């Protein structure tokens, strides 16, 4: 015999009560918890008000109410800050991953070929982060593969004139290591293909 049981929805009054509790501000819960605490712990009589009878007759309920309101306030605060904490963790994780990727890219600066170093040296000498070149040429293709250059985000190009740009973090690292990438003028400096 098949089990035709279906989940039973809670009574309507429970749903309405939970919705009402959820609609109350966390500040209200904090204020109620503080008020209950003041009734319990303020010296009596205070300003002509004797709190003794209230504590004697209703002290237990006031304690329960104070604890309940405090827990509801904590729950509301936790619900509010949880997305903030989660987003901060995600952002920190993304930053860590990005930093590691960038470190891997920058390691290539220590293992460049002569032609690759010449391209970067010419960019530094001219203070230019971008170049336009033939996308089939080897040294630049290798620099792109290593992440030291990127294709510029534009549709205005032809196969023989492709725009390339040095990423910000690579350019910053190159500026710090400028002395290592001094351009040496020679008859064949290896960049002729850049002008084709």
Q: Do residue 116 and residue 94 come from a single domain?
A: no
Q: If you average pLDDT over each of 2-6, 43-47, 50-54, which comes out highest?
A: 50-54
Paired with 151 in beta bridges are 164
Q: Which pLDDT score is estimated for 120?
A: 92
**Residue where a domain stops, chosen among 72, 106, 140:** 106
Predicted TM-score (pTM) of the model is 0.54
Please check whether residue 60 lies inside any domain of the structure: yes
| pLDDT of 193 above 50 | no
CB 36 within 8 A of CB 14: no
All residues at 6 or more sequence positions from 184 whose CB lies less than 8 Å from its CB, including other chains: 121
- Cα(176)–Cα(170) distance, integer angstroms: 10
- The answer to whether position 91 is within a domain reads yes
Q: Are 33 and 87 in the same domain?
A: yes
Spatial CA neighbour of 40 closest among 76, 66, 18: 66
pLDDT for the residue 1: 47
Number of domains in the chain: 2
| 102 phi and psi angles, rounded to 5 deg | -65, -40
Whether residues 90 and 159 share a domain: the answer is no
Summarize the confidence of residues 145-154 as an average pLDDT.
86
Does 17 lie in the same domain as 101?
yes
Q: Which of 74, 106, 138 is the last residue of a domain?
A: 106
Is the domain of 78 the same as that of 157? no
Alpha carbons 8 and 25: distance in angstroms, whole number: 30
- Cis bond upstream, residue 45 (ω within 30): yes
Residue 150 lies in a domain: yes
Whether 85 is in a domain gets the answer: yes
Instruction: Supply the CATH number for residue 143's domain.
Output: 1.10.10.10
Q: What does residue 150 show for φ and ψ, rounded to 5 degrees?
A: -130, 150
- pLDDT more than 90, % of the chain: 24
Let me know if residue 1 belongs to a domain.
Answer: no
Asked whether residue 143 falls in the same domain as residue 123, the answer is yes
Compute the distance between CA of residue 24 and CA of residue 181 in angstroms, rounded to an integer.
Answer: 65
With CA atoms as reference, report the closest residue to 87 among 95, 75, 97, 77: 95
**What would the mean pLDDT of 132-139 be, rounded to a whole number?**
80
Q: What pLDDT sits at residue 10?
A: 66
Does residue 85 share a domain with residue 130? no
Q: Are 51 and 44 in contact (CB under 8 A)?
A: yes
Mean predicted confidence (pLDDT) in 161-179: 90
165: which strand partners? 130, 150
Please indicate, yes or no, whether residues 97 and 129 belong to a single structural domain of this protein: no
User: Both tokens of residue 35?
Assistant: 């008020």
Q: Same structural domain for residues 100 and 30? A: yes
CA–CA separation, 27 and 74 (whole Å): 10
> 83 and 163: one domain?
no
Domain that holds residue 121: 112-195
| Residue 82 structure tokens | 């949880």
Q: Are residues 142 and 81 in the same domain?
A: no
User: Could you tell me the two tokens for 104?
Assistant: 């891997």
Q: pLDDT for 49-78, tens place per residue?
A: 777 777 777 778 888 888 888 888 888 888
Do residues 116 and 101 share a domain?
Answer: no
Q: Given 43, 71, 106, which residue is the final one in a domain? A: 106
- Residue 159 has a pLDDT of 66
Which residue blocks in the chain are alpha helix, DSSP H? Answer: 12-23, 26-41, 52-106, 114-126, 138-145, 168-176
């Amino acid at each position: 015999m098949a089990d035709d049981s279906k989940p039973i929805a809670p009574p309507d009054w429970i749903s309405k009560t939970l919705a009402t509790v959820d609609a109350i501000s966390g500040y209200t819960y904090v204020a109620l918890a503080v008020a209950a605490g003041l009734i319990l712990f303020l010296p009596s009589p205070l300003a002509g008000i004797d709190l003794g009878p209230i504590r004697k007759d209703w002290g237990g309920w006031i304690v329960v109410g104070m604890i309940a309101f405090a827990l509801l306030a904590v729950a509301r605060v936790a619900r509010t800050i949880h997305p903030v904490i989660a987003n901060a963790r995600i952002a920190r994780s993304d930053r860590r991953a990005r930093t590691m990727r960038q470190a891997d890219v920058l390691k290539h600066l220590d293992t460049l070929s002569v032609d690759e170093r010449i391209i970067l040296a010419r960019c530094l000498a001219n203070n230019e982060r971008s170049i336009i070149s033939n996308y089939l040429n080897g040294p630049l293709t290798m620099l792109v593969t290593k992440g030291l250059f990127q294709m510029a985000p534009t549709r205005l190009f032809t196969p023989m004139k492709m725009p390339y740009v040095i990423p910000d973090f690579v350019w910053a690292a190159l500026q710090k290591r400028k002395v290592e990438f001094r351009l040496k003028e020679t008859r064949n400096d290896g960049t002729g293909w850049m002008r084709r």
